[in-house]
């Protein structure tokens, strides 16, 4: 009696349920298909590519270690040698420029002193010239005054003589 109560036991529905479960697993359950595709992809990837990436990474690692161990110290040493040489050259160039600036400053000072001496000499010469002009002007004024006096005397004498002749 109990067999009759259970719906799937011995009834014609059991093959339908089995078929529905099979259709469900084929149409809606994609896990087995996806797992198969993943396995296929991994197999193809490993077979075709092999361990190339691993070898490339190993080569890169080797190159980096070699660079760190050999090339970098050589570069640092060469840089230190060249920098010290360059620093010495820069110091020498700086000293030479400093000396040139001092020489130029001295030359400018000497030139300024010469200009000042020339200006003082010109001023002294001008003052002497002006004094000389003053004295010559005084001489000329004196000569002019004397000439005026002589002319006045001469004209007064001429007037006197002329006055003698007018009285006739």
pTM: 0.38
Three-state secondary structure readout of the chain:
CHHHHCCCCCCCHHHHHHHHHHHHHHHCCCHHHHHHHHHHHHHHHHHHHCCHHHHHHHHHHHHHHHHHHHHHHHHHHHHHHHHHHHHHHHHHHHHHHHHHHHHHHHHHHHHHHHHHHHHHHHHHHHHHHHHHHHHHHHHHHHHHHHHHHHHHHHHHHHHHHHHHHHCC
**Per the domain annotation, does 13 fall within a domain?**
no
Structure-token pair, residue 159: 């007037």
Q: How far is residue 100's CA from residue 92's CA, in Å, rounded to a whole number?
A: 12
**Per the domain annotation, does 32 fall within a domain?**
no
**Per the domain annotation, does 27 fall within a domain?**
no
pLDDT at 144: 94
Q: How many domains does the chain have?
A: 1
**Per the domain annotation, does 29 fall within a domain?**
no
Percent of the chain at pLDDT exceeding 70: 90
Residue of 19 and 123 predicted with greater confidence: 123
CB contact set of 17 (below 8 Å; sequence gap of 6+): 8
**Per the domain annotation, does 42 fall within a domain?**
no
- Res. 33: pLDDT tops 80: no
**Per the domain annotation, does 2 fall within a domain?**
no
Inter-residue contact 41 to 48 (CB < 8 Å): no
**Per the domain annotation, does 121 fall within a domain?**
yes
Q: Which domain holds residue 72?
A: 50-167
**Per the domain annotation, does 14 fall within a domain?**
no
- Res. 168: pLDDT tops 80: no
- Res. 1: pLDDT tops 50: no
């Amino acid at each position: 009696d109990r067999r009759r109560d259970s719906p799937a036991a011995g009834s014609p529905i059991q093959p339908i349920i089995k078929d529905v479960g099979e259709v469900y697993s084929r149409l809606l359950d994609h896990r087995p298909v996806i797992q198969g595709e993943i396995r296929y992809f991994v197999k193809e990837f490993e077979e075709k590519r092999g361990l190339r990436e691993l070898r490339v990474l190993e080569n890169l690692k080797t190159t980096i270690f070699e660079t760190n161990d050999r090339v970098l110290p050589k570069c640092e040493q060469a840089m230190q040698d060249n920098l010290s040489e360059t620093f010495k050259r820069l110091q020498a160039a700086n000293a030479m420029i400093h000396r040139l600036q001092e020489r130029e400053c001295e030359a400018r000072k000497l030139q300024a002193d010469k200009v000042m001496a020339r200006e003082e000499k010109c001023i002294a010469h001008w003052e002497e010239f002006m004094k000389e002009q003053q004295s010559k002007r005084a001489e000329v004024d004196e000569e002019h005054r004397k000439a005026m006096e002589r002319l006045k005397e001469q004209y007064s004498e001429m007037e006197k003589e002329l006055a003698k002749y007018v009285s006739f």
